Each structure stands twice: as structure tokens, then as C-alpha cells.
Structure 1
């Protein structure tokens, strides 16, 4: 009888242990995010997890175009945030994304140590930009230079960086004289400053979109997707210098597809 009682006790302990493990099981979601969101998004994830103890959010930061290519080839990503409307639209057309919305807008500036009154004053100096093959910031930078009729003159002095944050670091570490970066990146500079604010008419609108990848529409992912547009997230984005767009500006790819088929 004594052995039987001990055996039953052990079974009960194991049952309680495994039950506890089941209760503590957490869902993991993986977000691919544009590198310029690093500081703001880390804070947002921290807030999200405070009220969603059962969800772990892992973020992979990289240049938007690299994240788009990663998503196109099949990936572990559940949700993606890009700084380029074109890249998000490509994913939508390829049916890689099932739902997306525009959440933020940014501006381009020139960073350096000496104020300039006009863009022409960067001629003859080394200028860092994000590599346009990987970074939307690089695409915007080339667009600005071409619209300003400066590209051919400045081209020999352009230093390509992997992404916009790397371009910011080049100028902040005195490796170049100027850098074309997002205005939000200036908030983490230590040795450089905004020397010129580029008029918006010189480049396409810098719109950040987030989208849920096809087959990844779980409640946990939808919960974080929704959280990106709530009051707490909006305050954090604003604090980091982003313009926050109307969260109702939402695109449901499946609805668009069905609408097109009816026509």
C-alpha cells in the first residue's frame, strides 16, 4: 500500500508539473523590420509583451529590400514592415502578403557637421547613402540627386552603405563628410547634425507599411499587427520623429483580389 501511495503521489506531481508547463507555453512570432525602426520598434515590442505575456516577439532588422527578397523566397517571418511602398506592393502582387496597411511616413535630410544653405554645397565632399540595391533610403537619395541635377557630379564621391543606419554611422564616425539619411536617424547621432532638410518634392513619399505573410494569420500575429496602430505605439513612433498615418488606411489583399475577379 505504501509503494502504491508513493507511486500515485509521483504521478500527481508529474501531472501538476506538465500542466504547469502547458500553461507556460508561449507563442513565438517573428517580425522582419526595416532597420530604421530599430529603436522605436524595440520599445513597442517591450510594451506589447507586458500586456501579452504568452507571446514572444522576435525581430529581424535589415534593409527593406533584403527583407522583401527574404519574404519572396519563403521565410520564417510572420509579419514584415518595410520603408518602401513599391516593395510591399511587389509582395502583394505575388500573394506573399494577405493583408497590409500604411502606418508611418518619414523625411530625408542631409547629416554632417557644417550647415549648408543649398544642396549644391555638398559637391566635392564624400557623401554616404544607403545602397539602392538593398535600401529604399538609397533609392530616395539617388532620386533626390537626379531631381537636383547633381547626380553625375556627385557620383564619384558617393560611398555606398548597406542600409540607412550604416550611412548615418559613416558620417557620425567622421568617415564621410555628409550622409543622406531619414530624419528619424538623426536622433541617434552623436557627432553629426541635420545640416539640410530636403524638400519632399525632390523624392517619392517615404511610406512605411506592415503586412501579414500568407498562411501566418494567427491570432497572436493579428494581435501584434493591430497593436502597431494603437495609441501606445503611435506615441512611441511620434517620439522617434515619425509621422503616424491614419490606421484606417488599410489594404486587404484578398478583398482586392475578389473585387477584381467580380469585374
Structure 2
């Protein structure tokens, strides 16, 4: 190897060791997000790459799962939860950057059935959901998952919970509950409106009254241990016009920027 070539390699190596942030900037921004955001966020990631040349990669799961993964040191740059409680959990452990936190979206809760099912049930107080289930089970997200808690709150408010609480098919996240119904394994399920719209094998029987459950909100924040300098820019992009248009396209209600 020629001396000049050796010097150039050594110099480049020394620069990379001295400037780890330059290496971090070349890595995709890692986003841990609620499973119900998958379709929309995948499209937002494509828009972000086209606009900036940067990349984002996404890890989807139920909100409790992503919060616990971050707590255990998983390498996330941004967290997007499906409720405030799990973001509060991370904040209480100093695992997010408080000043970066913002509420991005809201959603509706839907009762669904297989697309080819004949149903006459209406989402009302005292609806005969238990009778409609017959020998089947109601697909819902687990009790620690926001969609599962919203579902229980709605059913309780409508006076139906006690009649169906022993007939649940609980899933690890809302997308898994959606698949129970899509595959015909459950005659009914409760998921987000946006999930139902993304799956052609199910149909929406009705929407739950918004007053019957705590407000559905998707907060986002920088993870305190994140080291990618592009994370703040991607978080800002999530509130920008291109991302907002994608979220609306997928049925989310975009919250006003503050």
C-alpha cells in the first residue's frame, strides 16, 4: 500500500472515531410504535425518505411491550404510544425527553365482524352482544394494551361488560385481535376504526360513542437514550403537512399542533 493511501485510511478512521455522531447520522431513525400505526407509519417513512434522503425503521407492538422494551434498553430513538398512560410510565422513569412530547393523533373504537357475516347488531346501551357471540368469543387486545382498556371502558359504560367478560379472546395487540376476526376465528372484535379500514376481510358493525371511553390519543416523544441526531427532525416531520396527509388518508384524526 502506498504511504499516501495508508495515511488517508488512518485519517478517515481517526475522524470516524472522533465523530461518532457522523456515523449515527447515517443510521436510520429507529421508531418504536403502537401496532395500530403500522400502515400509516410505513407510508410516512417512505415520504420522509423521499423528502430528506434519510431513513426510518419501525418496530411495532402493543404499547406496553414497546414501553418495556425501551425500559430494558432497546435501541429506540422515538416512541409513539397508543395512550398517554404508557408514555407517562416512560416519563416517570426519565426514559423520554419531556420537552419533545406531543400528541399526534386520535382515533375511534369500532365493533367489527367478518366481512361476509350477516349481522344486525347495533352499538347501543345494553346491546345483546353476548347473545350475538353465540359460542364464539369477542376478540380484543389484552387488558394492559390501550385498545383493550378502551374496549372494556366502552362495554362497561354501555352496560355490556359483565355479560361478555367471560367470552373474550385476548390478543397481545390490536392488530392480532383484528386477525382473529379476519380469519373467522371470532365472530366479533373491538379494534380501532383505522385497523378495520385497513383489513378487507372485516367490516365495521358500528363505532362506539367517544364519550364511552377515555379519549384515544397517540403521544410521541424522543427516547432519552436515543443517539441519532436525525431523530428530532423525524419527530418534527411527523407533525408536518406530508405526514399529516398520510395519517388522514388512513383514517386518523390529526390533532392540532401546539
Fold-level similarity (TM above 0.5):
yes
> In 2, distance between residues paired with 1:243 and 1:82?
15
Other-structure match for 1:132: 143
Other-structure match for 1:78: 77
Other-structure match for 1:256: none
> In 2, distance between residues paired with 1:88 and 1:8?
55
> In 1, distance between residues paired with 2:123 and 2:7?
77
> In 2, distance between residues paired with 1:128 and 1:92?
31
Q: What are the Cα deviations for residues 186-218 of structure 1, in whole angstroms up to 9, with x where unaligned?
A: 112222211111100110000000011114365
> In 2, distance between residues paired with 1:189 and 1:163?
15
Other-structure match for 2:129: 122
Mean Cα displacement is larger for which, 112-121 or 233-242? 112-121
CA RMSD of superposed structures (Å): 2.6
> In 1, distance between residues paired with 2:192 and 2:245?
19
> In 1, distance between residues paired with 2:221 and 2:209?
29
Q: What are the Cα deviations for residues 47-91 of structure 1, in whole angstroms up to 9, with x where unaligned?
A: 1112332x3322110001111122223221111000011111121
> In 1, distance between residues paired with 2:220 and 2:250?
18
Gaps of 5+ in 1: 1-5, 249-263
> In 1, distance between residues paired with 2:55 and 2:65?
24
Gaps of 5+ in 2: none
Aligned pair 1:198/2:208, yes or no? yes
Report 1:41-190 matches (<5 A).
41-53=41-53, 55-99=54-98, 100-112=101-113, 113=117, 114-119=119-124, 120-124=127-131, 125=133, 126-133=137-144, 135-190=145-200
Other-structure match for 1:225: 235
Structure-2 change in CA distance of 1:26 and 1:219 (3 Å): closer
* 2:129–2:160 Cα contact (<8 Å) kept: no
> In 1, distance between residues paired with 2:128 and 2:242?
41
> In 2, distance between residues paired with 1:205 and 1:231?
24
Shift of 1:13: 9.4
Aligned length: 240
Mean Cα displacement is larger for which, 95-104 or 111-120? 111-120
Would you tell me which structure has more strand in proportion to its own residues? 1
Other-structure match for 1:252: none
Mean Cα displacement is larger for which, 35-44 or 65-74? 65-74
Report 1:3-14 matches (<5 A).
7=2
Shift of 1:11: 6.0
Shift of 1:10: 6.0
Shift of 1:184: 0.3
Other-structure match for 1:239: 249
